[in-house]
Amino acid sequence: MAATIREIAQKLNISHTTVSRVLSNKKDTFIAEETRQRVLAAAKEIGYRPNLAARSLRDARTNMVGVFGSPRIRLDTGLIPEIIQGIRSVLSVRHFDLFFAFSPEGDQINSALPAWRFDGAIVLQAPMPATIRHLIEFGQPFVCINEKIEEAPCILRDEESATRQSLEYLRSLGHRRIAYANASSWHFDHYSVQERHDIYLAWMQGQGEIPVSGHADRTQGMDRTEFIRQAVIEQKATAVLAYDHVVAVDIVSAAQRLGLTIPRDFSLLNFNNEFPVEHLAPPLTVTAPESYEMGRLGAELLLRRMAAPEEPVPAVTRVPAKLILRASTAAVR
């Protein structure tokens, strides 16, 4: 297998962008001569040969930005529409066009990147590993939005403040026995799954409360009947915090099957203000991410990286969420 820019960067413990610019003979950057010589020596030692297609991709300006993500992402649901609007609000006024490349399932090397050229990339949830490898190998500037990847700056939701805000609101209503309905097994392996669960545990323990059992369960199906039976009926939970809107809808159905009424028998609050939570009976109280702002910040950060690849940028930027009060939460009876 041919040696790569990433291998040289790891060998020297420097950024792959620095290695890329040295090997492409960029004269307009301020790279120390000592660093330049170390890169050239390491490249010779491991037998690096330049990828001409990648070099062509780097050097050509197209005013195109690629948006990459999981093949399971839909552009018309979830956080994606508002994130895209935020991205477009920044890039359109700079005369950049967007294209979307959500590849087929599986780590298919040949389809990791499109054949045409583009100037930068935005990565959404659960991209193919091959996509990330190719973006790094080609020295392509990219940022992540609502996804956590070590090799790129990330715009993420502030899960700490969002989870605590939700729990503190329920506590202000008198709730002490608060259950947590975790993500399902089919959810993405997303940073929010671990963070929300860990923050729930830490908050409950900080309040001197015992977490309601079942909080770690990631059920296979969509039936939350047994979870609600154990949490609300047996363990006397008076409120449930749900991982997202999908889990919350399942909980509403489970409550109906058990003859329970929200919020008379228990209050329900969930993350994400997505369809159909506002149209249920009762409409659900939610903690909603500022998706538009996440897209806007991600696009601004990408432009900075494209203009000055060596300029340091924050590794992680957290965007706060807002609490939207509706009829699914009430004071403890």
Tokens at 116, concatenated = 């045409």
CA-to-CA distance for 289 and 196, rounded, in angstroms? 13
CA atoms within 13 A on the CB side of 318: 10
- pLDDT score, position 107: 47
CA-to-CA distance for 193 and 301, rounded, in angstroms? 25
CATH superfamily of 1-50: lambda repressor-like DNA-binding domains (1.10.260.40)
* Model-wide pTM > 0.85: no
- pLDDT score, position 237: 98
What's the longest Cα–Cα distance across the chain? 74
Local mean pLDDT, 10-residue blocks, the chain (333 residues): 78 85 68 86 82 54 89 72 95 92 59 80 90 88 94 96 98 98 86 97 97 90 92 98 96 98 98 95 97 98 91 94 98 94
Give the helix ranges, DSSP H, for 69-206.
Answer: 80-91, 129-137, 159-172, 191-206
In the chain, domain spans? 1-50, 159-289
DSSP state letter for 229? I
CA-to-CA distance for 54 and 42, rounded, in angstroms? 20
- pLDDT score, position 28: 52
State the architecture of 159-289 in CATH terms: 3-Layer(aba) Sandwich (3.40)
Contact status, residue 214 vs residue 227, Cβ threshold 8 Å:
yes
Local structure of 100: helix, strand or coil = strand
Q: Could you identify the residue written with the tokens 């839909």?
A: 74
- The strands making up 120-123's β-sheet, listed across from edge to edge, are 97-101, 64-68, 120-123, 142-145, 154-157, 316-319
- pLDDT score, position 59: 54
